Structure 1
Amino acid sequence: MDDLRIRAATPADLDAVLAFWKVAAEGTSISDDRDGVERLIARDPGALLLAECGDGEVAGTVIAGFDGWRCHLYRLAVRPERRRRGVGAALLAAAEERFTRLGGRRADAMVLDRNGLAHHAWRAAGYAPEPWWSRWVKPLTD
């Protein structure tokens, strides 16, 4: 995709990102609301990466969070009609470059067990599940 551009999201992108996730992301998160995404961008302005087409349409997203110790990937999503064209690979490359600049040494990704299409994409990018490790999650709000 020659017209693809990767950039960090800004507060002006919030509505477009939330609308995009409704059509392109598998499942939802308790943080998939304006307040949650605003907090993310305010706390770590470079974490939410957008892939945009030449016309400004959001083609994909990934959250590349770094806590100073570990690199975490969330919300890798590509617009359905733009899948299998390198958008996800470009987003992951940008996320990994960000992690390297910040001093990160290992990235992990949250991937839904039932999302076989995502498993294929993550494996193609060099990621593998760790069967000895299980992620446990606790919502911090009702």
Structure 2
Amino acid sequence: MNQLPITHRFAIRAATPDDAVDVLAFWREAAEGASITDDLDGVTRLIARDPEALILAESDGTLVGSVVAGYDGWRCSLYRLAVLPAHRRQGIATALLDAAERRFRALGGRRGDAMVLEANERGRRAWAAAGYHREDQWRRWVKPLD
């Protein structure tokens, strides 16, 4: 996936280790909430372990969108779908999700699971518009390991 064609004045590509600092700055501006792995080590380890998992959208050399499309051989997990506010409603999130879903299908994945903050109403609407639905019978359980 390293370089996909330009679509609607933006290009979709996999992140490289050189993108890590820019990705973190982008998430601070465009993403809702923060994660324990939102640091240089977390992003660079993700890219090293799975070089196709962090998918970026760029427009004129500016990072305008991201999604993490992780696949562990069993589950297809989606995180950090974000688009810069000034670039929303231009099809960027849709293109990022299309790229993620193509990746999952090529790897044999059968269902995408998205992590969405309860308080992120805009995000919940975007995921619903993309065909995802909330499963009320599940709740996320977490334990920090450090």
TM-score (norm 1): 0.96
Q: Which runs of 4+ in 1 moved over 6 A?
A: none
Residue correspondence of structure 1 range 120-135 to structure 2 within 5 A: 120-135=125-140
1:23 partner amino acid: E
For 2:32 and 2:58, how far apart are their aligned partners in 1?
A: 19
- 3-state DSSP of counterpart to 1:14: helix
Question: How big is the alpha-carbon RMSD for the aligned residues of Structure 1 and Structure 2?
Answer: 0.8
1:57 is matched with which residue?
62
Between Structure 1 and Structure 2, the one with more strand by share is 2
Structure 1's unaligned 5+ residue stretches are none
Q: Distance in 2 between matches of 1:126 and 1:56?
A: 30
1:10 pairs with 1, 12, 16, which one?
Answer: 16
Aligned twin of 2:37: 31
Aligned length, in residue pairs: 140
Q: Which whole-Å CA distance do the structure 2 matches of 1:21 and 1:51 have between them? A: 13
Alpha-carbon distance in structure 2 between the residues aligned to 1:101 and 1:56: 28
What is the aligned partner in structure 2 of residue 108 from structure 1?
Answer: 113
State the shift of 1:135 in Å: 1.3
Deviation at 1:137, TM superposition (A): 1.3
Q: Could you say what secondary structure the match of 1:20 adopts?
A: helix
Q: CA deviation at 1:3?
A: 1.3
1:138 match: secondary structure: coil
Q: TM-score scaled to structure 2, two decimals?
A: 0.94
Cα separation, 2, equivalents of 1:2 and 1:111: 26
Match of residue 72 from structure 2: 67
Quote how far apart the aligned CAs of 1:2 are: 1.7
Gaps of 5+ in 2: 1-6
1:30-82 superposed Cα distances (whole Å, 9 cap, x missing partner): 100000001000000000000011x1101100000000001000000100111
Counterparts of 1:90 and 1:61 in 2: how far apart (Å)?
10
